[in-house]
Chains A and B, each alone.
Chain A
Amino acid sequence: MGKVTEPEVMIGVPGYEQPVEDAEKQAGGSLLKIVVSRLNFHYGPRQVLFDVSLQILQRKITALIGPSGCGKSTFLRTLNRMHETVRGTRAEGEVLLDGRNIFDMDVVNLRRRVGMVFQKSNPFPKSIFENVAYGLKINGTMRRAQVAEVVEKSLMRAALWEEVKDHLHKSAYALSGGQQQRLCIARALAINPEVLLLDEPCSALDPIATAKIEELLFALTGSCTIVIVTHNMQQAARVADQTGFFLLGKLIEFNKTDIIFKNPARKETEDYITGRFG
């Protein structure tokens, strides 16, 4: 398939293709998991995303940063079409997952391939085991032994197994906030998604819980592409390979994390990074 080539500096102007090795491009862009082209998003009459284009690299961590209300969460939710659960929303543009437009896919199938973890943990009012097993059960019956095996593996990947292995049948609500969030990650991992979207997963957690989650994200990149929205710049700097900076619905800049934080090309990015505005 050829060598992986680091993308060069890109100025966030719509229409630019991210420079890549030709061979990769001809092989169908297997380096690129998700390709977003000119995504526009409307809440009713109000437009909140303007011509957003970017490419998410396979099995890397991509962070989306920006001030509150800049549209990064809205953008994230478009990637698994969760915006369709709300009335009056309209997305225009192209979002390709492995080359196929997600808007032409069966949405249920899409969401099995692209999982999501929400800002506030939302475990079901069931046991820990039942929470993790939920995705398996609704996506097709599996034998009990198989389910138990996947539940254990998922809890391990979410770095929660040791803490709950003797309490699998206790209510999920008995867990602490950080544990509940890791449970939600395990739940999402159980159906083996190719992409995991995380919407400010640590915003309600203390630093120790946050560190645990960041650690497990690193471990996941071996098997999973990760897109994480965060208002915590340091977090983005710590974990992400690529970072995108959103402002007022526009993608201002998108590049390797190092470049964004050490040598941003746009003044707006620099202002945000250095804290010149909120």
Chain B
Amino acid sequence: MNSRLGWRKFVNAFMLTLTGLCALLSVSVLLIVLGYLGWNGWQYLTWTFLTHLPAPVGESGGGMANAIVGSAKLLLVAAVTGIPTGLLGGIYLAEFGGRTFAFLVRYSADLLNGVPSIVMGIFAYTVVVLPMHHFSALAGGLALGVMLIPVVLRSTEDFLRAVPNPLREGALALGASKWKAIATIVIPASIRAIATGALLGLARVAGETAPLLFTSFNNQFWSHGLNQPTASLPVMIYQYAISPYADWHRQAWAAGFILLMLVLIANIGARLILSRKSPAPRG
């Protein structure tokens, strides 16, 4: 009996250690990513890098200024198209929705969410690039915007539903019409969480490369307006990383560092904001 119990205790301790190692290993991957990228990326982050255009192929020097601006431009287009759609759609689901149509909307959003990003790129290609006969920042931004919709829609709906019903009733009982109650009470009560959800969505699409490969494509120079192809951080990282030039590799590290920092800061910030409790009425 004793040895059996001893064996069981051993197994217990062993498994505790083993699973703990699994967890540790998983955590350490992120730390390795951060460490390696930080070490390599930080070194090569120069002022030139931030402010210059790419140098011609093979030449050293140059920077990714156009890629930084290009990514910002793409995110702007994505935000302008994706966030209002998701926001208003989420308001519909939370405040107005009928049963079957709401189910259809939610299902579509989940479907869109699960679409591989490369396929989203194909979609934007057929809908924007083909009719325009050229690559454009608009196409890339729209691809990202469509990816943003389901994220914003679901999070908006969830956060609106979390607003307690007594608040809605209080507003209605004071003579507010339904839309006024939503606009003046329900949305302000959840706006912080909704904005954070949108921010998380933006952070996710900011790092997407695949949908841009044949929509916004790439650009050695500045792109003007939305009608031209544009450089972007993720695409540049990709191109430079697979190139044979050491200098380009260094720039890829620097760009990767910037991108990762932005994404992580947005994520950590968003989760911190969400986890802080909003003011709740006392009993």
Contact = CB atoms under 8 A, between A and B. Distances in A.
B224 interface: no
By size class, the interface of chain B is 20 to 34
Contact of B282 (A125, A177, A191): A177
Contact of B171 (A120, A134, A180): A134
Judged by DSSP, the binding face of B is helix
B173 A138 contact: no
A16 to B, nearest CB: 31
Interface residues of A, number: 33
Interface in B137-166: 164, 166
A221 B40 CA distance: 77
A134 B174 contact: yes
Given A122-B167, A124-B167, A125-B189, A188 B174 contact: yes
A149 to B, nearest CB: 18
B279 A118 contact: no
Given A134-B174, A135-B174, A177-B282, 19 more contacts: A80-B173, A82-B172, A82-B173, A85-B172, A115-B173, A115-B174, A118-B170, A118-B173, A121-B281, A124-B171, A124-B185, A125-B189, A134-B185, A138-B175, A138-B184, A173-B282, A176-B282, A177-B283, A188-B174
B180 interface: yes
In the A-B complex, the 9 residue pairs with the closest CB atoms: A122-B166, A112-B175, A116-B173, A135-B174, A111-B175, A122-B170, A138-B176, A173-B279, A108-B175
B110 interface: no
A111 B170 CA distance: 11
A109 B175 contact: yes
Nearest to B281: A173
A191 B175 contact: yes
A134 B173 contact: no
A124 B176 CA distance: 14
The CB with the most chain A CB atoms within 10 A, among B167, B170, B175, B282, is that of B175
Given A138-B180, A187-B174, A188-B174, A123 B169 contact: no
A225 B282 CA distance: 30
Interface of A: 80, 82, 85, 108-109, 111-112, 115-116, 118, 120-125, 134-135, 137-139, 171-173, 175-177, 180, 184, 187-188, 191, 204
Contacts of B239: none
Interface in B183-201: 184-185, 188-189
